[in-house]
């Protein structure tokens, strides 16, 4: 039996639009994000998911709620699917981080762990999100998980067993775009599709 897991990034927020680091700050969707979620939900509902699971942060849970409104399903919530904790960066724009904490910013831009600022390590992030993915995948043959940009990328990399250098080759997910992963008994987890969605004409905001 093959399991399909759809990893769905939340819709746009005002902090996304401003290039502000969200992390685990509970920022809601803006009007664009709500529209993105509604339009993407139409496509995802056509896949007839067996279950929907979301991060409990509003921008992800409200994105998942748009799909639940179409399918009539209940959304399950999992704190492990939250965005990376960005410590003292949260609330700053990426330009402010670069100016105020240049060494940390340089490590982040290079895809390395940030030393200082109480930022969650990539390994810790990958492990917790991948654990959430694994539990969600047990809920059916097709499960949709609503999460966040950095969380999605690192969790996917951990699930696939990729080294950090390979995870860095994944382009940041656009708002309300998704990844499809498959798993079967002989091949384990595989990447089937990446950055799929309705909106393709907007710049990709940082996955923070």
162 is in an annotated binding site: no
Q: Which of 10, 148, 158, 177 is catalytic?
A: 10
For residue 95, the tally of other CB atoms under 10 A from its CB is 11
Q: Is 148 a catalytic residue?
A: no
Q: Is 205 part of a structural domain of the chain?
A: no
The response to whether 9 counts as a known ligand-binding position is yes
The torsion of the CA quartet 11, 14, 18, 24, rounded to 10 degrees, works out to -70
Give yes or no: 39 in active site: no
**Does 148 carry a binding-site annotation?**
no
Find out whether 15 is annotated in a ligand binding site. Answer: yes
One pLDDT digit (tens) per residue for the chain, 208 residues: 899 999 999 999 999 999 999 999 999 999 999 999 999 999 999 999 999 999 999 999 999 999 999 999 999 999 999 999 999 999 999 999 999 999 999 999 999 999 999 999 999 999 999 999 999 999 999 999 999 999 999 999 999 999 999 999 999 999 999 999 999 988 999 999 999 998 544 545 556 6
> What are the tokens at 130?
């991948």
Q: What is the dihedral of CA 97, 204, 52, 59, to 10 degrees?
A: 50
Q: How far apart are CA 57 and CA 98, in angstroms?
A: 26
Task: Report whether 13 belongs to an annotated binding site.
Answer: yes
| Domain assignment of residue 45, yes or no | yes
CATH number of the domain where residue 111 is located: 3.40.50.1240
How far, in Å, CA of 132 to CA of 174, rounded? 21
- Counting the structural domains of the chain, the total is 1
* CA-CA-CA-CA torsion sign (38, 49, 178, 207): positive
39, 79, 83, 103: the active-site residue: 83
Q: Two tokens at 189?
A: 């987890």
Tokens 């929907």 belong to residue: 52
| Residue 207 within any structural domain of the chain | no
Within a domain: 168: yes
Q: Domain span at residue 27?
A: 10-196
Joined together, the tokens standing for residue 16 give: 């996304």
Cα(178)–Cα(92) distance, rounded to whole angstroms?
26
**Structural domain contains residue 1:** no
Is residue 87 in a domain?
Answer: yes
Query: Where do the DSSP E strands lie in the chain?
Result: 3-9, 51-54, 75-77, 142-147, 178-184, 188-196
Strand stretches in 148-204, DSSP E: 178-184, 188-196
Q: 3 in a domain, yes or no? A: no
Is 10 annotated as belonging to a binding site?
yes
CA distance 151 to 128: 9
**Is 11 one of the annotated binding-site residues?**
yes
Residue 150 in any domain: the answer is: yes
The Cα 150–Cα 119 span in angstroms is: 12
């Amino acid at each position: 039996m093959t399991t399909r897991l759809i990893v769905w990034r939340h819709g746009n927020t005002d902090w996304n639009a401003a290039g502000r680091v969200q992390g685990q700050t509970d920022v809601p969707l803006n009007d664009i994000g709500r529209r993105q979620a509604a339009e993407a939900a139409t496509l995802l509902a056509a896949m007839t998911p067996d279950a929907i699971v979301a991060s409990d942060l509003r921008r992800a849970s409200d994105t998942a709620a748009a799909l639940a409104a179409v399918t009539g399903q209940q959304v399950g919530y999992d704190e492990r699917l939250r965005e990376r904790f960005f410590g003292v960066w949260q609330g700053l724009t990426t330009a402010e981080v670069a100016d105020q904490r240049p060494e940390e910013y340089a490590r982040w831009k290079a895809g390395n762990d940030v030393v200082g600022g109480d930022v969650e390590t990539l390994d810790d992030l990958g492990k917790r999100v991948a654990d959430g993915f694994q539990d969600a995948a047990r809920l059916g043959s097709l499960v949709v998980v609503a999460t966040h940009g950095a969380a999605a990328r690192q969790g996917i990399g951990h699930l696939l067993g990729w080294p950090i250098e390979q995870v860095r080759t994944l382009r940041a997910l656009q708002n309300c775009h998704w990844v499809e992963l498959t798993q079967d008994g002989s091949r384990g987890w595989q990447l089937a599709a990446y950055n799929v969605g309705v909106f393709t004409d907007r710049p990709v905001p940082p996955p923070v």
